[in-house]
Amino acid sequence: MTDYWLSKLFYDLHNDETLAAEYRADMTAVLARYEIKPEIRTALLADDVATLAPLVNAYLLRFYFQVRRMPQHEFIAKLNALGDKNKTVSAPMSTTHG
Amino acid sequence: MASLVGAFAAIHSPIIARNWDVMPAGHRAKLTSAFDEVGRRLRACRADLLVVVSPDHWVNFFIDNMPAVCIGIGDEHGGPPEPFMRKHFPRDQLKGHAAFGRHLLNTALDHDFEPALSHRMKLDHGTCIPLWRTGVEPEMPIVPIIINDVEEPMPSIRRCLAWGKLLRQAIDSYGEPLRVAVLGTGGLSHSIGETTMGWIDEDFDHACIRHFEDGEETRLAAFLTQALPRTGNGAHEIRDWVVAHAAAGSRGFELIDYFPSPETLVGAGFASWKVN
């Protein structure tokens, strides 16, 4: 189920470097400008990939964790842990952000 | 009259730009070789205009308003807004071709297609990585066709075939002697932001290549319609190849190269279609 305001936050962060820097410096201040549900806010503050993933477009999820500067291998590992073990992920993985 | 002089496909993984300087040299050389060959063929066909078919990676459109297809009809377009593109492709503007863009738009409307239009689109890495790596001259006018490959529901493969034919009709009916090339970008298999992220579905990729080589539209459409929901979300960009395929007359293509590229998270495919 798509969460509109979470999607909007991710879209804005993806397209506004100044906002992204502000978000990294003070997440709560930026989150206060969006109608983010309390449980989603908690997930954002915890970098909880599992909770956020079903709520937004997968590309926006990736862009968000690039803004958060989560290393790509860590982001991929968190996603893979949620998924289909029969689909083999090719190695090697890049180590850049997102 | 204008004529179609070439149709090509190439990947556009953003990691190509992000990691270009730190990528293992052997892999960078493989990518360079494949892009160079696409670039060589593109230059050889002496195009006056390049129609680039690609997705929008959430820089122009959001779920507030997400067109299935958008045609850039401006005399200029914005360069890639992503910070990671600045080092390798530091262009704020790309030249457009308003006259052909508008002709394509009018041809579409005359044939009961209703695309969105843009007088100035931001052209993200999906368009600009292939332009950068194939060495397309900065003066080459670009007419972008953006297909929604990123957010469900997306245009059917049948409709993308129809769009390719319509594009060809627009080229063939344009009143000036323009030499037009088409470049479909993206693919092949990849999985982005999903639980399968990192998965390169080589079975899908090889089947895809066989169908494009075979050329036959009904089989291609049946295969993709059945297979796309079962592979990674990035493979939806194959729609851009399908448009190029149909524009070229669906007579099969020549694979320039294919290799799984875990370094860039995609099944790396490069091709040119038979257009004569």
In order along its 276 residues, chain B shows pLDDT tens digits of 899 999 999 999 999 999 999 999 999 999 999 999 999 999 999 999 999 999 999 999 999 999 999 999 999 999 999 999 999 999 999 999 999 999 999 999 999 999 999 999 999 999 999 999 999 999 999 999 999 999 999 999 999 999 999 999 999 999 999 999 999 999 899 999 999 999 999 999 999 999 999 999 999 999 999 999 999 999 999 999 999 999 999 999 999 999 999 999 999 999 999 896
- Per-residue model confidence as pLDDT tens digits over A18-63: 999 999 999 999 999 999 999 999 999 999 999 999 999 999 999 9
A87 in a structural domain: no
Q: Are B239 and B149 in contact (CB under 8 A)?
A: yes
A53 in a structural domain: yes
Task: Please name the amino acid found at residue B184.
Answer: G
* Whole-complex ipTM: 0.96
Q: Are B50 and B140 in contact (CB under 8 A)?
A: yes
In the structure encoding, which two tokens stand for residue B13, read together? 């993984």
Query: Could you tell me which of A9, A17, A21 has the C-alpha nearest to residue A57?
Result: A9
A76 touches chain B (CB under 8 A): yes
| Nearest by CB: A90 against B194, B233, B262 | B262
A13 in a structural domain: yes
H or E segment to which residue B255 belongs:
strand B253-261
| Nearest by CB: A76 against B19, B197, B260 | B197
A29 in a structural domain: yes
| Nearest by CB: B193 against A61, A92, A96 | A61
**Nearest-Cα residue of chain A relative to residue B16:** A94
With beta carbons under 8 A apart, name residues in chain A contacting B204. none
A68 in a structural domain: yes
CATH number at B153 reads: 3.40.830.10
Beta carbons within 10 angstroms of residue B195's beta carbon: 20
Residue B144 CB contacts under 8 Å (≥ 6 apart), including other chains:
B51, B52, B53, B54, B70, B71, B72, B77, B121, B123, B127
CA separation for the pair B89, B84 (Å, rounded)? 9
Confirm whether B77 is a catalytic residue.
no
A27 in a structural domain: yes
Confirm whether B119 is a catalytic residue.
no
A46 touches chain B (CB under 8 A): no
The total of structural domains in chain A comes to 1
Domain that residue A32 falls in: 4-80
The total of structural domains in chain B comes to 1
CA separation for the pair B215, B233 (Å, rounded)? 23
A91 in a structural domain: no
Marked catalytic residue, from B12, B190, B211, B236: B190
Domain that residue B175 falls in: 3-273
**Nearest-Cα residue of chain B relative to residue A65:** B193
